[in-house]
Structure 1
């Protein structure tokens, strides 16, 4: 190997053999053809780029229809690439000495992803990064600055595009143009003409609700009739509530959670579609729900009307991580969120929001957390006698309990259960204790 850096290493490899590189491709959306043609095209370009630079693609990683801008979106292909780069080889042992991609913004559009990628790429000496413009030295100052400039350009482009989309939707809204997106329940595909059967259902539902009928009962009636939503889902109380309280049912146009008003008259903007009920009926049905249930609070693209995040209602909220093993041997470690359960024994459950393959009974997990703290904690994390007494006597609130647990635990990893086994296994919840110094700092 040459000592002149990755680019000279590339030349040396070209003299003795082809440099093994990983190929990565990503598209933000694939809702039209749904055939993955975008990532296939990128992979072909990557193959050509690798051949032109004396490299060969030994592994491919793709994320089809995955945004790299929105937080919380998982990219399994990118995560596998990072793990393999850090290890230096694929899961089957094939060496990787670089990455090829059509553009930087396919890999990262957020600072944290840039940091992850460069840390993994430069974990070993002699790595290269290729794109159609040529080879880049990821270890040099110029290579890093080029990556940062690409990130800044991607962030700026995202902001400009986002504002352009917002302005486009607003301009359409003030003209009364129907909403884009899936066909709204109650209208034909043109979003203007009423659907005779669905519109009659919505009209009757609004009348029944004003008369005192529960949204759950209305949803059950629709299910009995075999009614499905415009995307094939079965109606439930929440979807029925959204349909009944959407301003469109009385012909009003809203945008981003607000009714649009005509500047001269301050009257609501009327849409170009045919309404199902009168504005008076719409206001009457909205008055039967709490503000937090209304379409203007919960509808698509609507900012929440409440201030701040809702307080956790369970002991393990935000503390549990998924321990499901991925195909590459790594753990998922996705955050587990609280969902409604289906039994009296487990009225709520914790489910991994990343992979969805791991769930655990909420009461079981919370009971396991209490056991860990009160019975199995190491010396530096063991609570004082006064804390134990107040905890067991029920003198502590949920916030104080969570604060104590967070001061001694980084998180808890939940191992997947055994399908068909109804027994409660507390050992599924495995703690990751803070060290003594961390615990003291957190407690202080």
Structure 2
């Protein structure tokens, strides 16, 4: 009996359970038995396309290495391969060449599919197999083009995407809202625009036992994908671009929307044009890193030491939280020199938290009041004029009234201006949405005694991050009276610009 291995691959459009794989291997074993071979091992790649260049089929690669050496990892000898059909083995010429090279590395190797054995040592057979792989690749490309064209056609017709899992917020028909899920999504979008972080929302959903449509736990990544999807407001996006009609306006889909276009643009503006920098020790700024930790104190990472070193530069180190035996409250203090600080500054944490909380709430209330009178976006006419220019230029190029050189020289600047104005419109929508936030309720919940109603630390920190970059705490200095007396004038907030 000649020892061989069996290979099977189940694609995403086929059966996903073990029955399908077992069926293929059963057919492979039957083929091997008819030829007097024996299957000593089986290799299976489930839901891994053989046509995509970026997909690594681990089992296929392991089998190729085993064929080249003539033995499995446990030392058992093998002399060939049996598969159900050849295009389940390879669909790219490069993979076929590697497979044939490995199998024919030594003499006497065997290969068979459901139709029978093939002599891969024969140049004619190898050439036919290579041609078959090329044809299979061409067919895959045709299928991919048909799928892309179908996605585009459905999008232009306003139809929801076909296939895949049910989108969260809608029922199985993908058009009618699931009221419970849609309410959660709408509230999450509103809270995110108001300043609540993704981590805080995800933790609340996890604690409430809310699952995705596939039954998995929500993560910040999955929530971000959900909120960035323009499907929420009835629009459609393909390859990162909104699907627009001939008039340049987004096509409205034939499904119920969860939020308004203005709300989605406000959410998207945060993701695509998020502002925020930290103040470094030298006074320069750097991008604000994402905050994934569950903080126990309100202002850690926001507070900076303002003590001046002997060389005239500011310390600028982030203050840490410490506790002293004779103090009930926490202390914000500069770390020692061995940890990058100066160790020469400390301040009562409860007093600092109270003052900065009031300052942040006042600043947010001030911005909310000012933003309520923003009115409609003043750049709408400018955007329409640019879109009309682009449309006219493309029509002139299509009808050959202008040359290729002129078209490709003029179109980049117009498209760049169009992108800038659309981003500006999203930021404007964000300002309007934030103006609609009820700051009275936020202030009440900030100090609420009810654990369930009160904003948690992460929510408060999100509002603080929305309002300011950092707070420099200056030293009391000699001759300024008792060090135990809290002086708010020594706290210097660096506010974010509107």
Name the structure 1 match of 2:48: 66
Going from structure 1 to structure 2, the CA distance change for 1:292 and 1:111 (only over 3 Å counts) comes to farther
Shift, 1:137, TM fit = 1.9
Shift, 1:291, TM fit = 5.2
Name the structure 2 match of 1:49: 31
Q: Does 1:227 align with 2:204?
A: no
Going from structure 1 to structure 2, the CA distance change for 1:291 and 1:229 (only over 3 Å counts) comes to farther
CA shift digits 1:139-168 (9 cap, x unpaired):
221122022112101211110111111112
Supply the distance in 2 between the matched residues of 1:235 and 1:132 (Cα, whole angstroms): 44
Going from structure 1 to structure 2, the CA distance change for 1:273 and 1:149 (only over 3 Å counts) comes to same
CA shift digits 1:215-239 (9 cap, x unpaired):
3333233233332222233333333
CA shift digits 1:83-105 (9 cap, x unpaired):
32222233455432222222222
Supply the distance in 2 between the matched residues of 1:201 and 1:231 (Cα, whole angstroms): 17
Name the structure 2 match of 1:39: 21
CA contact (8 A) 2:97 2:130 kept: no
Name the structure 2 match of 1:217: 200
Q: Does 1:116 align with 2:63?
A: no
Name the structure 1 match of 2:223: 240
Report the 3-state secondary structure (helix = DSSP H, G, I; strand = E; otherwise coil) of the residue aligned with 1:287.
Answer: helix
Residue segments in structure 1 that go unaligned for 5+ positions in a row: 1-17, 294-339, 344-444
Matches within 5 A, 1:168-247: 168-180=150-162, 181-247=164-230
Going from structure 1 to structure 2, the CA distance change for 1:209 and 1:21 (only over 3 Å counts) comes to closer
Shift, 1:136, TM fit = 2.0
Supply the distance in 1 between the matched residues of 2:222 and 2:39 (Cα, whole angstroms): 47
Shift, 1:62, TM fit = 2.2
Shift, 1:275, TM fit = 0.7
Name the structure 2 match of 1:279: 261
Larger mean Cα displacement after TM superposition, 171-180 or 85-94: 85-94
CA shift digits 1:37-90 (9 cap, x unpaired):
332222232233333434333333222322222234333332332232222233
CA shift digits 1:395-416 (9 cap, x unpaired):
xxxxxxxxxxxxxxxxxxxxxx
Matches within 5 A, 1:13-412: 18-29=1-12, 34-180=16-162, 181-263=164-246, 265-290=247-272
Larger mean Cα displacement after TM superposition, 126-135 or 86-95: 86-95
CA contact (8 A) 2:3 2:79 kept: yes
CA contact (8 A) 2:10 2:16 kept: no
Going from structure 1 to structure 2, the CA distance change for 1:274 and 1:95 (only over 3 Å counts) comes to same
CA contact (8 A) 2:4 2:79 kept: yes
Supply the distance in 2 between the matched residues of 1:91 and 1:283 (Cα, whole angstroms): 55
Larger mean Cα displacement after TM superposition, 53-62 or 193-202: 53-62
Supply the distance in 2 between the matched residues of 1:33 and 1:128 (Cα, whole angstroms): 29
Supply the distance in 1 between the matched residues of 2:132 and 2:78 (Cα, whole angstroms): 24
Shift, 1:120, TM fit = 1.7
Supply the distance in 1 between the matched residues of 2:155 and 2:161 (Cα, whole angstroms): 8
Supply the distance in 1 between the matched residues of 2:223 and 2:41 (Cα, whole angstroms): 47
Total equivalences in the alignment: 278
CA contact (8 A) 1:20 1:95 kept: yes
CA contact (8 A) 2:160 2:255 kept: yes
Supply the distance in 2 between the matched residues of 1:65 and 1:289 (Cα, whole angstroms): 32
CA contact (8 A) 1:36 1:64 kept: no
Residue segments in structure 2 that go unaligned for 5+ positions in a row: 276-290, 295-498
Report the 3-state secondary structure (helix = DSSP H, G, I; strand = E; otherwise coil) of the residue aligned with 1:231.
Answer: coil
Shift, 1:342, TM fit = 8.6
What is the TM-score when the length of structure 2 is the normalising length? Answer: 0.51
Supply the distance in 1 between the matched residues of 2:142 and 2:9 (Cα, whole angstroms): 21
Going from structure 1 to structure 2, the CA distance change for 1:157 and 1:261 (only over 3 Å counts) comes to same
Supply the distance in 1 between the matched residues of 2:66 and 2:220 (Cα, whole angstroms): 45
Q: Which structure has the larger Rg over C-alpha atoms?
A: 2
CA shift digits 1:322-350 (9 cap, x unpaired):
xxxxxxxxxxxxxxxxxx9999xxxxxxx
Name the structure 2 match of 1:389: none
Report the 3-state secondary structure (helix = DSSP H, G, I; strand = E; otherwise coil) of the residue aligned with 2:270.
Answer: coil
Going from structure 1 to structure 2, the CA distance change for 1:48 and 1:222 (only over 3 Å counts) comes to closer
CA contact (8 A) 1:21 1:58 kept: yes
Going from structure 1 to structure 2, the CA distance change for 1:250 and 1:48 (only over 3 Å counts) comes to same
Shift, 1:202, TM fit = 1.7
Supply the distance in 2 between the matched residues of 1:89 and 1:245 (Cα, whole angstroms): 50
Going from structure 1 to structure 2, the CA distance change for 1:284 and 1:45 (only over 3 Å counts) comes to same
Going from structure 1 to structure 2, the CA distance change for 1:341 and 1:155 (only over 3 Å counts) comes to farther
* Structure of greater relative contact order (alpha carbons < 8 Å, 6+ residues apart): 2
CA contact (8 A) 2:199 2:292 kept: no
